[in-house]
Amino acid sequence: MAGKVFFSVAMSLDGYIAPVDGGAFAALKEGRGDDPGLKRWMSQWGELQGWALRQRFMRENLKIGEGGETGPDDDFLRRTFERTGSTVLGKRMFEGGELGWAEDAPFHTPVFVLTHEVREPWKRLGGTVFHFVNDGIESALAQARDAAGDRDVRIGGGAETILQYLNAGLVDEFTISLRPVLFGAGVSLFDGVDPARVALDLTGTEASPSVTHLSYAVRRLSADRG
Report pLDDT digits (tens) over 181-206.
999 999 999 999 999 989 999 999 99
Give residue-wise pLDDT tens across range 121-140. 999 888 899 999 999 999 99
Helix (H, G, I), strand (E, B) or coil at 155: strand
Residue 18, amino acid: A
Distance linking the first and last C-alpha atoms of the chain: 34
7 has a pLDDT exceeding 50: yes
- Band of residue 26 on the pLDDT scale cut at 50, 70, 90: confident
Residue 200, amino acid: L
Residue 193: phi and psi, rounded to 5, are -65, 145
CA 202 vs. chain centroid, Å, equals 20
Structural domains for the chain: 5-18+70-220 (3.40.430.10)
> Whole-prediction pTM value?
0.92
| 175: number of Cβ within 10 Å | 20
Residue 175: phi and psi, rounded to 5, are -130, 130
Give pLDDT, residue 102: 66
- Band of residue 226 on the pLDDT scale cut at 50, 70, 90: very low
187 close to 18: Cβ distance less than 8 angstroms: yes
Element (DSSP H or E) covering residue 188: strand 187-188
